[in-house]
Amino acid sequence: MRLSIIAIILVVLAGLGALFFGEQLGISGLGSTNNATEVRVEVAKEGDLVESVSAPGWIEPVLQVALSAEVSAKVIEVLIDEGDAVTEGQLLVRLDDRELQADLKAAQARREGTQYGLNREETGLEARRRDLEFSQREVERVRALFESGDVSERELEQAESNFANAKTSVDTALIAVSSAETNLVSADADLGRLEAMIDNTRVTAPMDGTIIMVAIEPGEVVTGSVNNPGTIMLKVADLNRMMMKAEVPESDVSKVSEEKPAKVFVNAYEDEDFVGTVIQVALERTRADDGNNIFLTEIELELQGRRLRSGLMSNTEIEIAAHRGVKVPYQAVLTKPLDELPEALHDAPEVDEKKKRCPVVFVEQDGFAKAVAVRPGPSDLTHRIVASGLAPGARVIIGPYKLLETLKDGDEVVISTEALGSPTSQAATRSGPPGRRGRRW
């Protein structure tokens, strides 16, 4: 019996304490009537807000090279494994060059024969030129004798004919030399091509880095040519410099530029955030897998000794502007039909009578919900700046979210005792702005 009396006294004291505590905090709705709706509130305060652009994407090295086969040959030896560190010029793969070596010897023999033919034609040209010089002197001598009457006209005609034939022989020899020179150039080109192909059977590292992919095994046949690279054999990357390839929506790309700071959230590293800087924004639009128009944007990350794997999915918030003003949780700013709002509110400068709907927030005042017309400003993932209409210190109703959709001016409300905790934790119960994509919300 005594225990029951003590329990009743404790309950009464707890109720009186709650009423007293609510009055001390100036929260008039705490412990109100049963008709009141329980709400959560957050006090509107001035603060800083960073406006950002959200985009999904993936992680990859800033510098990576895919090494493709430039000759068709069998793989003789693979000297590295995935994950190996390599240095520039290091031999990675050796291909079979025996057939190419045989072709090279044949080409060298053809080149020697072509050189011999050129030498022969050049010797013949020199002989034809000497004949031409002799014929020219002879025709001049005979012409002088003809003019003095010492030789007949027939002898002059014969000398002139010999000169013409000698000139034709020189022209023919010049053509033969030119053809031989062309053949020699072609032979040299064949030699150079084969030597380059043989060099391409020894695949070396183009830079210092790490092998991130090996796609071949000894005994396989790879295909390719100098002009049309074929089988991708392996990839080398500098894993000390990583970036995110972000798919920035077409509607936001005008706000993004190089040197903008960004936060990157990697799905596989939920407890770690990365910061980065925009280093390039694509000049050409592309189409994402979901059909939306995007501009690929590269964000180099500050790894600070951490190691990321290529291909990890991620999301980013690219900071585009900083603002200061009265901040409220994003979900607290609602759009209500104008005819549902009090007539007195229609005269507020934030209300546009030409529109049928008006942005408002609800504040708790003397145990009732009061609609306040506002002019919304920029937002981030959790909060929005109220450019005008709301003063700092107002107790803004921020939830439950389903209640906000049906809440009306004049509804009786009671502040949840949970609202006496951290305002920030209450604001975090709602995800970010509709349409934003991010790991954390």
Question: pLDDT digit of tens for each residue in the chain (441 aa)?
Answer: 444 444 445 544 545 454 444 444 344 444 444 678 899 999 999 999 998 999 999 999 999 999 999 999 999 999 999 999 999 999 999 999 999 999 999 999 999 999 999 999 999 999 999 999 999 998 899 888 888 888 888 988 898 899 899 999 999 999 999 999 999 999 999 999 999 999 999 999 999 999 999 999 999 999 987 677 789 999 999 999 999 999 999 999 999 999 999 999 999 998 899 999 999 999 999 998 888 999 999 999 999 989 999 999 999 999 999 999 999 999 999 998 888 888 888 888 888 878 889 999 999 999 999 999 999 999 888 899 999 989 999 999 998 988 898 899 999 999 987 644 444 433 333 333 333 333 332
Contacts by residues 215-218 (CB-CB < 8 Å, ≥ 24 positions apart): 216/75, 216/78, 216/93, 217/75, 217/78, 218/75, 218/76, 218/77, 218/78
Please give the model's pTM, rounded to 2 decimal places: 0.64
Helix 98-147 with 153-199: angle, nearest 10 deg? 160
d(CA 56, CA 244): 9
| C-alpha count within 13 angstroms, C-beta hemisphere, residue 276 | 29
Same fold flag, 27-48+324-427 and 71-96+201-237: no
Asked if omega into 337 is within 30° of 0 (cis), the reply is no
To which H or E segment does residue 413 belong?
strand 413-415
The answer regarding whether domain 71-96+201-237 maps to CATH 2.40.50.100 reads: yes
In this structure, what are the phi and psi dihedrals at residue 233, rounded to the nearest 5 degrees?
Answer: -90, -45
For the structural domain made of 99-199, what CATH number should be given? 1.10.287.620
Which of 339, 251, 348 is CA-nearest to residue 293? 251
| Other C-beta atoms lying within 10 Å of the C-beta of residue 80 | 19
Which CATH architecture group holds 55-62+240-322? Beta Barrel (2.40)
Q: Where along the chain do its domains lie?
A: 27-48+324-427, 55-62+240-322, 71-96+201-237, 99-199
Pick the CATH number of 27-48+324-427 from 2.40.420.20, 3.40.50.10440, 3.30.70.890, 3.50.50.60: 2.40.420.20
* CA–CA gap between residue 63 and residue 57 (Å, rounded): 17
Contact 274, 262 (CB under 8 A): no
Whether 79 and 204 have beta carbons less than 8 Å apart is answered as: no
C-alpha 203: how far from its chain's center? Answer: 28
**Residues in CB range of 300: below 8 A, 6 or more apart:** 62, 241, 242, 243, 276, 277, 279
Alpha carbon 200 to its chain's center: 31
Separation of alpha carbons 69 and 202, rounded Å: 10
